[in-house]
Amino acid sequence: MVTRRAGVIGWPVKHSLSPLIHRIWAEREERAISYEAIAVEPDDAAFRAAIERLAAQGLKGVNVTLPHKERALALADAASGEARAAGAANMLSFAKRRVLADNSDIAGFAAAVAETGRKPQRAFILGAGGAARGVAVALSRRIGVKSILIANRTQARAEEVARIVDAEAIDWPARESALAGVDLLVNTTSLGMTGEPPLEIGLAGLPRDAVVADIVYAPLETPLLAGARARGCAVIDGLSMLMHQAAFGYRAWLGHDAVVDADLRARLVAALKARASP
């Protein structure tokens, strides 16, 4: 039986649940696969060298996580329309000595929002990295929100992402005052992740019927989500987007059936709890 190979590239990346997700899907199909977490330092030359090496080793493709998503698009020989629109890629496929970029964060985030049954009209994105770009395009093209706000600690980066979807960039210190009327708040930063500084934002101005999403999944219940839940808001944790976006890479490189269901979530939650145990 031929072992099909893929992986995920990031810095850091050892915390990634992507290898487990792909192993679970492969077990269900009784497929022989290898899916590795590969640490690549945030440097253009190091990233290019890693991609060339992995393609030469026979991998079918790699998922790309922070801080490499914009770098991944720049390196690719060709890209999907959505990856180009976002200016970032989280998938690189290797085919016939070419590197093809795509962005499954877009469809993955849209699927996570759809699970809530809500149809947000005014969204607020915190952050301006590669994940923020995918979320912004999802909100604009797939979910169809009427207005988008973006705030980032570096204002110029917020303005750059805002131009992609005709959004409004606001000053980071004004983030709390901008919550009025927002029905979807999305944290795309690493703030609140285990080992990172907390995301400092009070939710008193956020409507109680809003949805709050956090792409962080370690911890699964970030302080942002805990505060939102206490306020009565619906929440989307980091596993939802992670599972949905991962399905595209699995189908492209490793197998056919990539079902996002309660069993998959339960096994990922168990893995997170095991990691947190002393």
Report, as residue numbers or ranges, the catalytic residues.
69
Q: Strand pairing partners for 8?
A: 37, 63
Q: How many CA atoms lie within 13 A of 171 on its CB side?
A: 3
For residue 19, whether the previous peptide bond is cis, meaning omega lies within 30 degrees of 0, is no
What are the helix (H) ranges across 100-259?
104-114, 130-137, 155-165, 223-231, 238-253
- Please list the alpha-helical segments (H only) found in 59-178: 69-75, 81-86, 104-114, 130-137, 155-165
Q: In the structure encoding, which two tokens stand for residue 161, read together?
A: 């992402």
Which uninterrupted H or E stretch holds 151?
strand 147-152
CA–CA dist 217, 245 (Å, integer): 14
